[in-house]
Amino acid sequence: MIQKKDMDWPASLDEYQKLVIRMNTPRVVIDNAVCATATLVKVDSARKDGILLEAVQVLTDLDLSIKKAYISSDGRWFMDVFHVTDQYGEKLADERVISDIERSLGASDEAAVVSVGMDPITTLELTGADRPGLLSEVFAVLSDLHCIVAEAKLWTHNGRIAALIFVKEEDSGLRIEDSEKIRRIEARLRNVVRGATTAVSSSAITASSGGTYVDRRLHQMMFADRDYERGNSGVSDTSVSVQNWTERGYSIVNVQCRDRPKLLFDVICTLTDMEYVVFHGTIDTTGDRACQEFCIRHSDGSPISSEAERQRVIQCLQAAIDRRASEGLRLELCATNDRSGLLAEATRTFRENGLSVTRAEVSTKGDMALNMFYVTDAAGHPTDRKTIDAVIERVGAGRLKVYEDRSNQTKHIQPNSAQEESSIASAGLLYLGSLVRKNLYNLGLIRSCS
């Protein structure tokens, strides 16, 4: 068992300030002995807004999978137990990862404000209507305006896109300072994306400073664009139900879907941004299926009060889960000696061969470009091998790799009737009632993963 050590105090703090920090700083215990298949990460601290999301963000940014979790934050205290594994499904053995968890989860507010030095960069935010070839045109505009894409992430969902693109000047490698050029970028991008909204800013935060920062912002952008109201244009096996637990004053959210990385982050992020507070919860993963159940209230302490609000929560959670679903074939573009126009050239090849990009992640490390694209045909169907071979021939077999990642695609499963949906919701409510009581009684004293 590993427990967080006492911190080194800055000389500027007096004894009272140290006491306040001690009382509010989370206590972190990492235990590899209790469970045979996962590492337990236990966190308890004084409750504050957003603390659950902060904990999940830390674990997600370290590429850890949360297989089970028990959450309680009633009263003034927050207590969580996470059963986590590394990206290979093994218990945590890397001391550096364990140290990162302790340092990040146990950081005080004063420690958290210490920023990491990095060069400021220009950030582009783009939302609008999606269509085949759109990403190619966006990158072509940026290349034509002599902008280098340092990092980028794009999601598509229900016919809409949200993209965060981090760019710098081609000549200097610095952020774009010319206000006239910024206006040209915005105007050109609005012409490319139908119904687009854009925002350009200079920021000291890049995509590499924290994956969940970018992911949370993409969720917020799509939520603001109301993609959840447009109907499910793809396939999904996500089941979400919401019922009120009247005698306890909670609303109960039950989520059942295919398990995948960052699933818990997407759910907690959405509830937090919708200004709900999670008081209790259980997360359980069996095989490739995940079940998540939460007791929530509004930030003012009230439960969900109307059918319209209940439906909105269901729609928003389904959208948050499905946005990250990887539809299509995964292509990875890697190239040394990264040069201006590489992304425009590669995505133009996709477009000319009838491929549509449903999701993209772009990054550069030094002279190395590391880019991932999920592609379908123009109608959203799986691509054929002949088309992929033609794209590889154009881009270069040494640079473009194909990964048969179709297992991440979901199947369209919906309740057959309102009665079936109601029975699922009721079952979830009863299950949560007994499970929460059992787990909260034993929180912090868990002896097995079962």
Q: Per residue of the chain (450 residues), give pLDDT as tens.
A: 444 444 455 566 666 555 555 556 778 999 999 999 999 999 988 888 888 999 999 999 999 999 999 999 877 788 999 999 998 999 999 999 999 999 888 764 444 433 334 467 888 999 999 999 999 999 999 999 999 898 999 999 999 999 999 998 888 878 888 889 988 998 899 888 877 677 766 554 444 444 668 999 999 999 999 999 976 655 578 899 999 998 999 999 999 999 999 999 999 999 999 999 999 999 999 989 999 999 999 999 999 999 999 999 999 999 999 998 877 899 999 877 556 678 999 999 999 999 999 999 998 877 788 899 999 998 889 999 999 999 999 998 888 999 875 444 433 333 344 444 444 444 444 445 444 445 544 444 444 444
Half-sphere exposure of 14 (CA within 13 A, CB side): 1
Asked if the domains at 2-107 and 121-227+326-408 fall in one CATH topology, the answer is: yes
Q: How many other CB atoms sit within 10 Å of the CB of residue 437?
A: 10
Per-residue confidence (pLDDT) for residue 313, from 0 to 100: 97
CATH class of segment(s) 2-107: alpha beta
Predicted confidence at residue 450, as pLDDT, reads 43
pLDDT at 387: 94
End-to-end CA distance of the chain: 20
What CATH class does 121-227+326-408 carry?
A: alpha beta
Residue 2 has a pLDDT of 44
Rounded to whole angstroms, the Cα distance separating 314 from 305 reads: 14
Looking at residue 107, its pLDDT comes to: 64
Query: For the residues of 177-188, what is the DSSP string, one character each?
Result: --HHHHHHHHHH
Query: Which stretch of DSSP H or E encloses residue 264?
Result: helix 263-273
Collect all residues with Cβ–Cβ distance below 8 Å to 101 and sequence separation of at least 6.
Answer: 28, 30, 41, 58, 59, 62
Q: CB of 165 within 8 A of CB of 240?
A: no
| pLDDT value, residue 49 | 83
pTM confidence score: 0.82
Q: Find the largest Cα–Cα distance for the chain.
A: 70
Tokens 């009633």 identify what position?
A: 74
- In single-letter form, the type of residue at position 256 comes to Q
Q: What share of the chain is helix, strand, coil (3-state, %, to 5)?
A: 35, 30, 35
| Cα gap 250→244, rounded to integer Å | 6
- Per domain, the residue ranges of the chain are 2-107, 121-227+326-408
